[in-house]
Copies of this chain bind each other. A is one copy, B any other.
Amino acid sequence: MMKDRLLNLIALFVVMSVSPFAAQEKKAFTLDDVIPGGSNYYALSPKGLPGLQWWGDVCVTADVEKVVARKAAAEETLFTLEAVNKALPEGCRPLHTLMDARFPWADRQVAVLPQGGQWIWFDFGQQQVVQSVRLDERAACLDFCPANGRMAYTIGSRLCITAEDGSEIAVSPAGKENEDTQDLVYGQAVHRNEFGIDKGTFWSPKGRCLAFYRMDQTEVTAYPQVNTSGRVAVPEPDKYPMAGMTSHRVSVGLYDLHTGQTVYLKTGDATDRYFTNISWSPDERSVYVIELNRDQNHARLVRYNAVSGEPEAVLYEEKHPCYVEPQHPLRFLPWDETKFVYQSQRDGFNHLYLFDTKAAPVREGWQTLAGTGSSYCEHVGVRQLTAGDWLVQEVLGFRADKREMIIGTTEISPLQTNVFALDTRTLKRRLLGEKDGMHRARLSQSGKFLIDHFTSAAVPRVIRLLPTDGKQGTVLLEADDPLCEQYELPDITVGTLKAADGKTDLYYRLVKPVGFDPARKYPAIVYVYGGPHAQLITNTRFYGARGWDLYMAQKGYVMLTVDSRGSDNRGLCFENCTFRRLGTEEMKDQIKGVEWLQSLPYVDKDRIGVHGWSFGGFMTTNLMLTYNDVFKVGVAGGPVIDWQFYEVMYGERYMDTPQANPDGYREANLRLKAGRLKGRLEIIIGGEDPVCVPQHSYSFLRACIDAGTHPDFFVYPEAGHNMVGRDRVHLHEHITRYFEDHLK
């Protein structure tokens, strides 16, 4: 069934392929025009509405000079920058923009206006400042609680909250020595942001309590990063637990504003365990944590008493021979606080499950799901809300009056996110907005309205105000694509080809050279990622092709990308077939793409290049070494070279530990293939890459030198895992030159 739908879509895409300007002569665009960070990039991107947001059910635009509410078809200015600055009390610094304004209270005419460490509460009914807070200028990880008006924030490794008068309350032990240490870190994201963790503080719904992470890294090795930008180079050691080595220990604290006391969840020994997706019960009495063993193959949903910190119940367990990867906190039903929605890919795709904390489980004991390898054990009543060979990507919220959930899914196409209203009683789904394209949406307070941000290969950008009852919406913005208007762009097609397993359909994207001449023989470059949690081909502007792909097409290259097995949005089995052998299956799929590419009459099969970053750098290097007769030139950015140098959480999920999986680590260790290098391979890294630490690439260079092979190398000093701003333009000039030098 899936296959048919895919093929239908392909036909659609091919017809829709982006080629607005046939053969007419236009000037050439530059990297500055198409690379983020380029001087002309934003001018040539479709316009957006950056300050657009919800104030309750009112759609508001926060601009530099003023904040405007859209009511019905009319616009109403709520307040101006001038008015705010006039109303500022003494000692407050004037604001330069209102674009960061936030409207946390649907029922209050109050905006929160942050600027640097200064936070202003502006009552735009009264046109006066009702509160102002000046935080320590080092304050980071700010987390504002609408329920109590307090702010949680970190200073170095410490955690603080604002008192009622705006002064500082220390949640973690105070003192300079506790700020600078990396040994004990409070209030920050832990587990290296895996498992959906993106912050370290969690306010209780009514604002009585702050849950926070505390991470003990005392026994974690520090990676010796060095900053060479100053008068003297300085060490910048960075705690980085490597696969198979001693990791950090995390605990979860609950700070009670009323008592000023902290209770830690009594999780037992935290060694080699992950505590993720912290969720408060609506009544603030319980904290739910999904707990995972270091092997990451057994998840448990545990409820703790928020007063005593004692565990109260295990509600759910899930296992998988590869890995279980809980990534989403619980979502309690607004109309029934005894029920929440849990996300799991146990049936092969990420779907929604309604947990009834008061109901007995349907089936006792461990259940196995044929075909997926998953097994699970429900300790309360659970009802599956969605199912099918597509996946739920996000829960936008609820429309309580209709008992609906508003969700984003791949149901229409794995290349898309579409928004649906899911009736939690009938389980029927209703599409909201266009069928085509990629939708990013934000739901209003009541769930009655969406701001629907929509883009596809055919539509540069449309932003609509959309009622969730299915009525016609209002177009807020319909943007042109200045790049398409001003320049001749390449023809881009998307289709599928068979994976190396002979059955799975893989999406590819083919970008033909600008001014394509079928009689010519073009060099071709594969742009690759291939790792989990990423998908390069989507039904968005240029089908997700990046500016550099367009640029290279303009320079006369055919650009191919294949989302191989292991990549995102295709379900559990599609992803975990790479388990313990990262790179191997992915490369086979990429080679399928290359074989197809080489079969095209206009592709010079002896001039095939490959480029990728991070996991894509790993793939690029691996392809250059493993299939060294196929690829002539490669540029690998920030590559993984040896998974034992990668961090514990991501690394061991897919590879287990080096001790447990020596063969897998050996097979994926590119240093052991250093002697196979035949073509031209350039490795590029950020000098202080904290993700793929420089040791990967340096140890690879050393291996090549010892093996007598000759990679090239470049480093962006002081840069991290990715180059940003002007560096990013420079990087792509550099990459381009390498292909021009050796593949052209």
Contact = CB atoms under 8 A, between A and B. Distances in A.
A702 B718 contact: yes
Interface in A677-697: 687, 693-695
Interface in A691-744: 693-695, 698-699, 701-702, 705-706, 708, 710, 712-718, 726-727, 730, 733-734, 737, 741
A695 B233 contact: yes
A229 interface: yes
B726 A698 contact: no
A662 interface: no
B710 A713 contact: no
Interface string A214-247: 0000000101101011011111010000100100
A701 B730 contact: no
Given A698-B717, A701-B716, A715-B713, A235 B232 contact: no
Given A228-B694, A242-B232, A741-B741, A716 B705 contact: yes
A644 interface: yes
A718 B695 CA distance: 11
Secondary structure at the A interface, as helix, strand, loop or mixed, is mixed
B710 A737 contact: yes
Contacts of A706: 726
A444 to B, nearest CB: 45
Contacts of A229: 699, 702
- Among A694, A698, A741, the most chain B Cβ lie within 10 Å of the Cβ of A698
5 tightest Cβ-Cβ pairs between the two chains A and B: A224-B235, A228-B698, A698-B717, A702-B717, A228-B695
B715 A698 contact: yes
A708 B727 CA distance: 9
A705 to B, nearest CB: 5
B714 A727 contact: no
9 contacts: A221-B232, A224-B233, A228-B694, A228-B695, A233-B695, A233-B698, A701-B714, A701-B716, A705-B726
Interface residues of A, number: 41
A712 B710 contact: no
Nearest to A699: B228
Given A705-B717, A710-B733, 8 more contacts: A221-B232, A228-B695, A228-B698, A231-B644, A233-B698, A702-B716, A705-B730, A710-B734
A717 B701 contact: yes
Contacts of A693: 233
Contacts of A708: 726, 730
A590 B56 CA distance: 74
B699 A717 contact: yes
A695 B715 CA distance: 13
Contacts of A705: 716-717, 726-727, 730
